[in-house]
Amino acid sequence: MFEPVTIDTKRLRLRPLRKEDASAFFEMWSDPETVRYFSFPPMQDIEQAHARITDKLQSSSNGHSVTCVIESRDTGEVIGDCGLFNGVSLSRRAEIGYCLGRKYWGKGYMAEAADALIEHGFKQAGLHRIEADIDPRNLPSIQLIERLGFRREGYLRERWLIGGEVADTVLYGLIQSDRY
């Protein structure tokens, strides 16, 4: 369903994930503030980052997902990732997920990256629908997804148990015809 892709935007390059990205992502995934609303607790050891990257690479190699590392075009620095995953080819749908290092928050980077990946998903990968699963307390993520045109479609109570904390989910959807 998905193939590795490189996408250039005005300020960013989205490129395929590599094993050597583990240290950059460990820095993000070990930051409690950055992963506050993720489906896993902050990482304690770089081996956890290696394992997560291995899982993402396996899913990408099977065509079930595409994970793009977000780099600054000016510096080449890894600032986050954005991906489409849980692809269902018969339904032409997938979920979107993303992570941005805390020092890059509030600069419009994720809107730029996610918009480019959504465009790729609809136009090149042939998706009909993209979904987002967001913790309702994560207002910046909700604002981002709504700016990108997603519509709130549901609320699931106590869907996640992460590090002993129960969390709800707000479900959002974007249909190709919502954008074009």
Along the 180 residues of the chain, how does pLDDT read in single tens digits?
899 999 999 999 999 999 999 999 999 999 999 999 998 999 999 999 999 999 999 999 989 899 999 999 999 999 999 999 999 999 999 999 999 999 999 999 999 999 999 999 999 999 999 999 999 999 999 999 999 999 999 999 999 987 788 999 999 999 999 998
Give strand pairing partners of 68. 16, 82
Query: What is the rounded CA–CA span in Å between residue 101 and residue 127?
Result: 28
pLDDT of amino acid 163? 75
pLDDT of amino acid 180? 85
Query: What is the rounded CA–CA span in Å between residue 99 and residue 167?
Result: 18
Query: Integer distance in angstroms from the first to the last C-alpha of the chain?
Result: 21
pLDDT of amino acid 93? 97
Q: In what order do the strands lie in the sheet with 93-100?
A: 7-8, 12-16, 66-72, 78-88, 93-100, 129-134, 165-175, 151-162
| Domain residue extents for the chain | 7-128
Contacts of 63 by beta carbon, 8 Å cutoff, 6+ apart: 1, 2, 3, 87
pLDDT of amino acid 162? 79
pLDDT of amino acid 176? 97
pLDDT of amino acid 39? 87
Write the CATH number of the domain with boundaries 7-128.
3.40.630.30
